[in-house]
Amino acid sequence: MDQVLDLHPEDFDVSVQPGVTRNALNSYLRDTGLWFPVDPGADASLCGMAATSASGTNAVRYGTMRENVMNMEVVLPDGTIINTAGKDRRTKKTAAGYNLTNIYVGSEGTLGIITKTTLRLYGIPETIMAAVCSFPSVQAAVDTTVMTMQSGIPIARIEFLDDVMMDACNKFGGLDYPVAPTLFLEFHGSEKNVADQAEAVAEIAQMNEGSDFQMASDPAQRKKLWSARHNAWYAGLALKPGSKGCATDVCVPISRLPEVIVETKEDISKSSLIGPIVGHVGDGNFHSLLIIDPDDPAQIEEAHVLHERMARRALAVGGTCTGEHGIGLGKRHLLREEMGEGTFNVMKALKHALDPKNIMNPEKVIPV
């Protein structure tokens, strides 16, 4: 089931089977002038990306899977096949009935199996420019992000790596970036618009004591400039060979992002663990990667405690315990706290109504 089923370039949409991956779709689209921009960092299957409500580095400009899935074919636990927006429907908006599509986006396989998804497509930008800028502090880097978003600049990517992660990336990739909190940025649009966007963000960065931009428009140079961000996971693990990564994420209102990242970084620094931080900070979303010895129960427990505090820190400022990674088994108790008892019970009732025998990813998200 790896076929691109229906492409409507004039309507900017496409339908795919569950075996079609993000890279495979964009390869299929390369001669149309269109692309699918949601990029979780791996060549994931698109139906799987829908099931997990994936997002990633481009979400600040193009949205997450939740904004880009128009319809889905789903097999329910009893074998019934439904189309969440109606068979063959592919409109950009609808006010018809309940939004079943968004119930299944992010359902983590607990309500049915997605066998087809219809996706929004976008025109490939005329010009793409990448930039990198370092800062004297986490606060300065994140303040630059907040000011950029508040200025209405339509930035395509704005990624944060802290000093620990930059040091790891330098060692792993033989790079020579400053070991300091750093933003990786990307601008999409016409040549003039991209130049104007980059100039405006550079001015904001300078107001926050940021370095001069390193910039690149050539695809090969852009790839080289972004290599630190793309290899961050592997670079983090290389800090302690033989270790494993224990990762989690939260998302907060963007105005509260500076304080939450700073507090989380301070919390990790007081522990016995190494914990680089990276973030899709234009969305208020960031991740911690705690490097642990998988055979050391004390380190595993310490990682869980740090992650629990990080999640509760986000909840305390009106955020969510997960912006990307999902609930799974590990954050079920936090879901109940985040949603409140009434809303959680509605979710539980929905699970029971659609999957009364609890055969779809049992105990994930909603314990029955």
Output helix, strand, coil percentages for the chain, rounded to the nearest 5: 40, 20, 40
Task: Report CA-CA distances (Å) from 259 to 72, 276, 288, 340.
Answer: 39, 17, 15, 25
Q: What is the pLDDT of residue 65?
A: 96
Beta strand ranges found along 108-181 (DSSP E): 113-120, 122-123, 127-134, 157-161
Look at the alpha carbons of 193, 195, 197, 200 in this order and tell me if their dihedral is positive or negative. Answer: negative
Residue in 221, 248, 233 with CA at minimum distance from that of residue 173:
233
The pTM of the whole model exceeds 0.75: yes
Average pLDDT over residues 248-277: 94
Extended strands (E) in 171-239? 182-189, 214-216
- Name the β-bridge partners of 292: 244
The SS3 assignment for 21 reads strand
Position 41 scores a pLDDT of 82
227, pLDDT greater than 90: no
How much is the mean pLDDT over the chain? 95
Query: Measured between alpha carbons, how far is residue 332 from residues 285, 335, 365 in Å?
Result: 19, 5, 6
Calpha distance 326→220 (Å, rounded): 33
How many whole angstroms separate alpha carbon 40 and alpha carbon 62? 13
Q: What is the pLDDT of residue 228?
A: 86
The Cα–Cα gap between 115 and 103 comes to 15
Going by pLDDT thresholds of 50, 70 and 90, the confidence category of residue 141 is very high
pLDDT of residue 6: 93
Residue 285: phi and psi, rounded to 5, are: -110, 130
User: Residue 26: pLDDT above 90?
Assistant: yes
Cα angle 253, 106, 13; round to 5? 100
What is the pLDDT at residue 92?
92
Rounded to an integer, the average pLDDT of 296-322 is: 97
Q: What are the tens digits of pLDDT across the range 59-104?
A: 999 999 999 999 999 999 999 999 999 999 999 999 999 999 999 9
- Give buried/exposed letters for 283-301 (b at 16+ CB in 10 A, else e): bbbbbbbbbbeeeeeebbe
| pLDDT digits 0-9 by tens, 342-351 | 999 999 999 9
